[in-house]
Structure 1
Amino acid sequence: MLFVWLRTDCNMRGLKNILLWNLMAAVILLGQARPNVKLNLQSSSGLRSDCAGNLMRLSLDKALAVGNQLEVEAINGTQHIVLTPSLAAQCGYSMESDPWGNTRIYTSLMGCYVDNKDDTTFNVGLRLQMYGQNPSDVASHDVTQTCSYSRWASREVLCDRNYMEVSKHMATPDAGAKGQTQDVNDDLQSNTIPGASGAAHGVWKMTFFTPEPVAMVLMEAEQAGYTAMTTSTRLVMRSPYNTAETYSEDVAGVPMEVFRASVYYKAPHGLSVENLAAACPTGGTLFTEDVISWHIPRRVTPLVDGSFKILEMHMGINGQRLDKSQMAARGYTLSATDFHIIIEIPVGSPDGYYKSHAPDYQYHITYSVEPMLDVLWRGDNNQDDTRYKVLFPITTPLMPRPPQAENNTILEDRMFSVHLGTFLHDVVLRNITFATGVLTVEECNARGFAVQEHSLPQGRKSFSLQVPFDADVVLKHNPEPLVTVYSLPLIFAFLILPEETPFAHPVDLEASLRDVVLPTITGTCDMNAFYIHVKYGSQGSSFQTMVGPLQLSPELGEAYNLKDNSTHLSLVVPYQAKATVFEIINSDSVRARLDILLWDPINNWLLGDFYLACSFPLMTTNCYPNGTMTALAVKVESVPNLEPSLLTLKDKSCKPVFSNDRFAYFSFSADSCGTTRMFFDQYMLYENEIGLYYDSNKGAYTSPIDPEYRQTVSCYYVVNETQTVAFSYKPRSNNPAAQIGSGQLMVQMRLAQDSSYEHFYEAEHYPVVKYLREPLYFEVALMQSTDPQLELILENCWATLHEDRTSLPSWDIIVDSCENHDDSYVTIFHPVVSDARVAVPSHFKRFSMKMFTFTKDDEVLKDEIYVHCDAVICDTNSQADGACRGQCAHRTGMSNSRQQGIKVKREQRSTDSSNQRQISSGPIVLLNPQSNF
C-alpha cells in the first residue's frame, strides 16, 4: 500500500500517525486520472533502486502512479507481506512522497524481511501493486536490490521518518561458526528464557527505561510494536516514534525522541544483556526567508556518556551523501560548534520542492527538503565507534505570498489588461468572478476575455486577463459630464492541486477616459408643431428629457408622438402644447418657443440645452359682418403671473366664454359689453378693452385702478363697404404685442321663388330657367349683423350676358339707388318687415323685374343673363349726402325704349367706384326666348 508522510509541525517528526497507507495517488498527484488503464510496470522505466549506506532506496516516478493506488508488499522468500503503517515502522520500512507522487521507499538493511547474508550482503525484495479505478485493473512489479555494507560501526543509530533503530556488534565466540549462535537444547531455552520466540531471534526479554523500568518478554514487545532481534553479528532493536515506552528529552535546546532498553538475549556463553539506546531529533530547525538551519546536538547525551571525538561528518539529501563539490554547487554548508552540528540549506534548493497552501483562503507556500546527517564518533575511554544517521524531512513554515497584480491597461486600446502572479505550478485558475457573475476560464475565452497562463522560471507561473472597456462586465460611471471611469472588479478563484484546495484573490481595475460624447438636439417647425430630433451620445438614452417644464413621461411621449430606438428619439410637439411658451403675439401669428433639456438626474448634470422659437399662424381678433367681435387674449412669457380667467371686457360681467391657463377667448356683439362706436370720415370704429385690474388696498381684482393688464380691441369699417377688422391695445412694456387684424361685413343676393320671399333658389338650382317677362324676385341682405343703426342701400344693379360684371352689353336695373327710368318694365321695390327670419329690416332690400334678353338686329344674342349689384352700408344717423340718403321710394317715369319686351343694348356703364360692395347672381336662362307677349 502507498504510504506518505504527513507532519503537523514542521519542527516535529516521528509522530505515531506519521504513515498513511492506502492513500489514493490521485490525492497526491496532479490529478491526471487515467481510468481503466492497465499499467505495465514490467520495465524498469520510472523505477530506480540504489544502496545508501545501511539503507536501500527505491525511487518511483510519478508518471507510474498517476490516477492509481499503490500498495507495497515485502517479499520474504515465497511470502508477500503487505506493509501496513504499523508493520512498516516496526520492521524498518518508510516512504517519502511529494504531493505529485514522486515517491522514495527506504528499507533498513536490518529490516524484518531482508535476506541478510552474514551482515555484509543484503537482498531486499519489494512488490509494487498498482490499482486503477476498476479493481480488476492491477499491475504489479517486483523490485529486488542487493546491497553490500560491511563498514558497520560498533553501534549504529538510524533515525528514519517513522522509526528509531539501534544495532550493536555482538562478540563472536571462538567455538561457534562465524555468524552463528551456539546451539542450546530446547529444555534449557524454555527454562532459561521464558517466552522466547525461537532460536532465530535469540532475544528473551527487554527492560525499557522511561525512565521508570518496564519489562517485557519478546512477544509482548512485538505486540507493542517493537522489534528486537539478533543477526549473525549484531543485536538490533527498533521502535516507532511516540510509543508508550519512548519519551521526549531536550538536548542542547533540541527536542529529541528517546528510547532506552536493556535487552536480554541468548549468547553462546549463556544469557547476555546489552544496554541499547536511540535518540532522534524531532526539531531543531530555524528559518529565515532564504535559509533553513538545522541544528543537531553535537553531544547526544542519551548516547554519549563521556568525552568523544567526531571521526566523520557528512551531509546528504534524500538518504544519499553529498561530497563537498556537490554541496558547494547547491550552496549547502555543514559546520559544527561546541554544542551543535549545523546544516544550512538555501530555501529553493533544487533538491527540495515548493508547495502551495491556502490557510484562511490566503495564498501561502512552503518549501520542503529532506536532508540527512551521517556522523561517526568515537569515545575516548571506549574504542567503540558510533554511527549516527538521521533522515530528517523539513518543511518551512507557511510563507505568505499574496499575488501581485500588475495593471498593464493601455487607455488607447480601451482594454483592461492585468497580469497576476506569481504562483507555483500546483495552482490552477478555476474561474473569475465579474460584477455580472462567475465565468470559467473557458467561458471567459469564449466571450473574448483573453485568459492566458504564462510559464516562468523555476517552475512558477502567472496569469493574465484582458477585458474590453465596452464589455458588459465592466462598470461605468461619470464623475463629470465628459469623463467616464471604467471599473472592473475581479475575483480570481484558484485551486491548489492535487488537494483541490480553493483560494481567491481580488483585483480592482480602474481607468479614466475623457470619451463621453454628449447627445445632440436639432429641431424644425411647420405651421402647426415643433419637430425635435435627439441623437444619443456615447451614453445612450441614460438621461431624462425635459420638454419645457415637463419631464417626458410615457403618457407625454404618447401625446407628443415619441419615437425612439437605440440611437435617436423624436418628438412632435404642437405649438399650443403646455410645454411651449409664447413670446410675441401678432394679429395673424404667435411666436412660440420650445425648450428642451437633457438631464442626468443621478449626477444633476445638464447634458443638452436647446430652444427653438418659430412663428405660427394664429388669428387673435376676428370681426364678423353680423357685428360679432371675437378676441383672444394670450398669456405670454413676459406676464408669467397672469390668470386669463380673470380677464374681462369693459363691462366686468363680460367674461371669457372660454379660458385656460394660457388663453382667454371673448365673443361679444358690437352693441354689448361696453363696446363703443365712432364714425369719422368714411370709417366706423367699434372698440372695447380687455383688462385685469388689481386693487392693492382691497387685495382683489376690481375696477381699473393700477392696471396690471389691458388690451384694446378695435374693429374698423369703411361706411360704404366692408372693411377689415382689427384689434389693437395700448401695451405696457411687458405686455404682449399685437398688430391690426382684418374682417368683412358680408352682403348676399338671392333669387326668390315667388313674391313671398320665403323660398330661394340655392346654388345647386342654377342656372334658373324662366320665361320671357316672368317676374324675377331678388333679395339683397347684410348677413349676420345685429346693429340696428346700419342700413343696406342698393346703389346700382344691372344685367349682362356673361358672368363678368364688366362685360358688354349691359342693362341698368337700378341706377343711383332708384329704378331705371329708361326701362318700360320698371323695377319694383318691395317693402321688408320684421319676421322670424328678418331681425333688422334695414339690413334687407327686395326688388323685382321681368325676365328679358338681349337682342341685336332682332336677333337674340344669348338665352341667359346675369344680374349684378353694388351695395353700401350706411349709418342711419349720418347726414352724409349721396347714396346713404336712402333707397328710392317711387318711380319717376318710364322709358319708351323697349320693343316688344326685348331690351336694347346700352353703352357700358361706369364702375369706377372703389368703395362699392359687389354682388352677382347666378345665370338665369330664358325659356323659348322667341315667344311674343
Structure 2
Amino acid sequence: MLVFIFPPDGTQHIVLTPNLAAQCGYSMESDPWGNTRIYSSLLGCYVDNQVSHGIWKLTFYTPEPVSMVLREAEQVGYAAMATSTRLVMRSPYNTAETTSEEVDGVSMEVFRVSAYYKAPHGLGVENLAAACPTGGVLFINNVISWHVPRRMTPLVDGSFEIREMHMGINGRRLDRSQMAARGYTLSATDFHIIIEIPVGSPDGHYKSHAPDYQYHISYIVEPMLEVLWRTTVAHDDTRYKVLFPITTPLIPQALHVQEKLPTITGSCDQNQFYISVKYGSQGNNFKAMVGHQQLTPEMADYQFQENSTHFSLILPYTAKDTTFEVYSLRARVDFFLLHTSNDWVLADLFLSCNFPLTTTKCYPNGTMTATAVKVDSVTDIIPSRLTLKDQSCKPAFSGDRIAYFLFNVASCGTTRTFFDHYMLYENEIALPYNKGASPVGPQQTISCYYVVNETQIVGFGANPRLYEPTAEIGSGQLMVQMRLAQDSSYTLFYQAEDYPVVKYLRQSLYFEVELVESTDPNLELILESCWATLDEDRTSLPSWDIIVDSCENPDDSYVTIFHPVVSDARVLVPSHIKRFSMKMFTFTKDKEVLKDEVKYELCLVIAVFFVFLVQRGTDSINQRQISSGPIVLTSGQTSE
C-alpha cells in the first residue's frame, strides 16, 4: 500500500516510505482483513506547527560523543524540531548512534542526544533520551507475558514513584472492565511491569503457516503500555508510552479438512479443449469463468454438460474466450472457479496446447495465402490494419483476432531468391510504417518454396483455323468524372455549389477519378498526366505537374500518394476508379507567391485548377481532359 502525505499548503504530495515514516513520526499497520491503522505525531513532519529553527548542533552518545549540525543529522535519518514549548528528536532503530542495552534483563534500544538551540534568554542545551524494548516477551501456558523494566534507567535516575500505569491494545487505552472482560492483567513487581494476554484474545489474529508442508499457526497482537514516573525530590514527570507488536512462535496444529475445494482437469486434441470440473464439498456453489466471461448452461457453443457431481465443456481453439500465444499456433484457455460472494479463486486451470494451424499455403498457380493471428503478447494490434510489404495489400478478410491474406507471388512486394534446385518467395506481414523507417510491432515472415529442376510435359492438340477471329470496329463515348473528397474515407464529396473549395497550405486534397456508366470489368482507367494551372485554360502558364506518365512527379517535394481502391457497396469495379492525394501548394515566380489572380479582403488566396489526361487501357487510346473545379488556397492569416 502506498501512503501519501499532503502538506498544509497543498502544493505537493509526498510518498511515505518506511525511512521517511520513522524520521517524521508516522507509522502504518494492516491486518489480514484489510483494516489499516495510520499513526501520525502532532509534532511530525508536514504538520502545520509554528516551528522554531533554533537548533544548531546535536551531540549523540554511543557512548562516545558524536556531534552533527542539524542538516547532517537529517541527512542520515534523524529528525529534530523545536516549538515554543516542545523539543522533539526522532531516530530509526539500529542506527550508528543508537545502542543496545540490557535493563533488568530486558533488551532495549537506547538513544541519547544533547540538543543545542538558541533560546530567547541565550543558548540552551537539553539532554534527551529514549529507550524502546526489543525483548522481554515470554510464552507460558498459552499466555503471552510482556515484561517492561520498572526502573527505566536511561530515562529516570534516583528515587521515583509510579503515578499512573495503563494498558491498551492497538494504540487505544483500555479501562479495568475491558481488561477483565478480555482476560488481560497489568501488574508490577520490584523490577518489572508485566502485561499478560491470553493467546487467542479477540484483539489479535491468527496467521497460518506451512513449513515443510506441516500446518502451523501464530498469534499476533499489539499491546500498549503507558507509564507516568515522578521523581521524589524534584517532582519531575516522565511520561512513557510504547506500542509493542508481539508474534508467538509457530504452534503446530492438527489439520482438519472442513471444506473440499472443486478440482479442474483439462486436455486437448487437434481441434478442441476439453475441461472437466469435479465438485467439492459445497457442490456447484461457485462461479465458473472462461477467460473473462462467466460460464452459463446457455452457452451451447461450448457443449456444456453437468450432473450432480461434475460438469464439462468443450471449446474449439478458435473460440473467442481462448488466447493465441504464438503464431504457429499455440492457444490457451484460462478457467477459474470463484467464490460466489467475494470472488476468491477456489481453483484455476491454464491449459495451453499446440494446434495444427497452417499459417501459409503455397499453390501451383503462384498464389499464396497467409493467416496472421493476434497473440497474447501484442493485444493492442488490430488485425484489419496489417499489410504486406506493399502496404496497399491488405487482408482479404479479417476479424478481431485474425487476418487472412490472398495474393500472387509476383505482387505485394514479394521477393524472389534463386537457389540450386528451388525458388524462395518471401513476404512479410506487419503494421504500416513510413518508408525508410523501421517496422512498428512484430513482423511475421511468410515463405513459399517452388522446385525448379523438374520438367513437366504437357500435350495439346490444335485444329487449323479457316479464318482468324476479328472484332467489329465501333465507336462510342465513355463518361469520366473527377471529384474532390472531403477526407481520406472517400465517402463524402464536394458538390458543384461548394466550389471554390477553401483549403489551407499543405492541407491534404483527396481526388477520385471514376469511369461512370460502365460495368465492363475488362476496362481500366489509367491516369496518364495531371497538372495544375492558375485558371481554366489548360495551356496557361505557370503550371505544375502532379502526375507524370502515371507516376508521381519526382521533382515534387510533396509526393503525390496513390490510394488503393477495393470493392464495396458503391465501388463495383475497382479498376474503374483511381484515387490519389496531394498537399495544397502555391505558385511562385522569382521566389514570390503569385497572388494577383483571386483576392479576398482578409486572406491571401490563389485559385488553382487541376486538369487530368485520362487514357483507356485498350489497343486504341482515347484521351479526355477533366477538371475538379477551382480550389481556393488560404493562408489562414488576416491581411491589412
Q: Which has the larger radius of gyration?
A: 1
TM-score, with length taken from structure 2: 0.42
TM-score, with length taken from structure 1: 0.29
